Amino acid sequence: MRELHCPDRALCGGDCAAALREPGACLRLLRFLCTEVQAARLLLLHSRLDPSPAAPPPGGEGAEEGAGMVQELILTLQAVGLPRPTLATPASRLLRELHAKISELLPSLPPGSLQPLLSYPLDAPRWEVLERLCQSLQSQYYCRRCLLLKRLDLTTSAFHWSDRAEAQGEAMKAVLTPIREALTPESDVSIAHILAARADLSRLVPATSKATRQVTCCAINKVLMGNVPDRGGRPDELEPPMPIWKSRREDGGGQNAGRQRWDRKKKKKK
């Protein structure tokens, strides 16, 4: 249950049999599994969607983005049991029907389900603040993702330096190139994701906690590294640098200059 990210902490404990003996535990488990089945069904429907008649013509500006939005809308209509809209259906009418259907289905859900993470009402000033925060975070994550992608490029290029990579270079590029092209510095997180987030998203579990390590611990964690070659580089073992010798002046060095300064001091004392 912990691997499925179940929000019910009682069901994610160590002894599942003891947890299911509690009153209502089996019902909570059944509800969670039903939601997982519904999510799997929606994902299956998403892969089987055919192009919508309301999709924009191919090759036009924003055709790919518009087709994705139409597919998401059709998936939402299928999830709530509404028929596919026709070409002449206005967008306002479609949204009203969708809102009415969702309002009709919400009372049938268990109490406390689908609690939004953002529970405060948003007026015009708050929308502007939220938009500025979103743009600021997107610019920061863009910079971080660029840095990580640059590190990835340098790391993958280092594998091509060995002699063995000369024979396997094309095979390595065939595997890495599609994966690298799919990684872009632009983030796809928007305000819509914040509005769609549920309250259980804010429940953070440390990756190093005892409960988490029970399912993430594996045999590779117990492997110890052997002796590694000594690379040196300790400052206390370095030899001091040799002094730099400068050539003396051609006029006899600093002895005459020292005598002149000594004579001046004697004259001042008198």
Q: What is the pLDDT of residue 224?
A: 77
pLDDT classification of 77: cutoffs 50, 70, 90 = confident
Range of the domain at 182: 118-196
pLDDT classification of 5: cutoffs 50, 70, 90 = confident
Q: Which residue has the higher pLDDT, 264 or 207?
A: 207
Angle at 264 between CA 258 and CA 267, to 5 degrees: 145
Whether the pLDDT of residue 141 is over 70: the answer is: yes
Average pLDDT on 259-263 reads 53
CA dist 138 and 142 (Å) reads 6
CA dist 129 and 123 (Å) reads 10
Q: What is the pLDDT of residue 151?
A: 94
Whether the pLDDT of residue 56 is over 50: the answer is: no
Residue 129: inside a domain, yes or no?
Answer: yes
The pLDDT tens digits of the residues spanning 158-202 come to 888 877 777 888 888 888 889 999 899 988 888 888 888 888 777
Of 125-134, 151-160, 209-218, 249-258, least confident by mean pLDDT is: 249-258
pLDDT classification of 149: cutoffs 50, 70, 90 = very high
% the chain with pLDDT above 70: 80
Residue 243: inside a domain, yes or no?
Answer: no
When mean pLDDT is compared over 32-36, 83-87, 175-179, the highest value belongs to 175-179
Q: What is the pLDDT of residue 53?
A: 42
Closest listed residue to residue 105, CA positions, set 82, 121, 139: 82
- What's the number of domains the chain is made of? 1
Residue 25: inside a domain, yes or no?
Answer: no
Which ranges of the chain does DSSP label H, i.e. alpha helix? 16-20, 25-47, 63-80, 91-105, 124-158, 165-182, 191-196, 210-216, 255-269
φ/ψ of 136, rounded to 5, equals -65, -45
Residue 185: inside a domain, yes or no?
Answer: yes
Q: What is the pLDDT of residue 247?
A: 65
Closest listed residue to residue 101, CA positions, set 78, 85, 82: 82
Q: What is the pLDDT of residue 237?
A: 77
Average pLDDT on 40-56 reads 60
Residue 28: inside a domain, yes or no?
Answer: no
Predicted structure pTM score: 0.45
When mean pLDDT is compared over 126-130, 163-167, 168-172, 251-255, the highest value belongs to 126-130
Whether the pLDDT of residue 157 is over 80: the answer is: yes
Q: What is the pLDDT of residue 269?
A: 52
Whether the pLDDT of residue 45 is over 70: the answer is: yes
pLDDT classification of 267: cutoffs 50, 70, 90 = low
Q: What is the pLDDT of residue 51?
A: 45
Residue 126: inside a domain, yes or no?
Answer: yes
Residue 227: inside a domain, yes or no?
Answer: no
Residue 131: inside a domain, yes or no?
Answer: yes
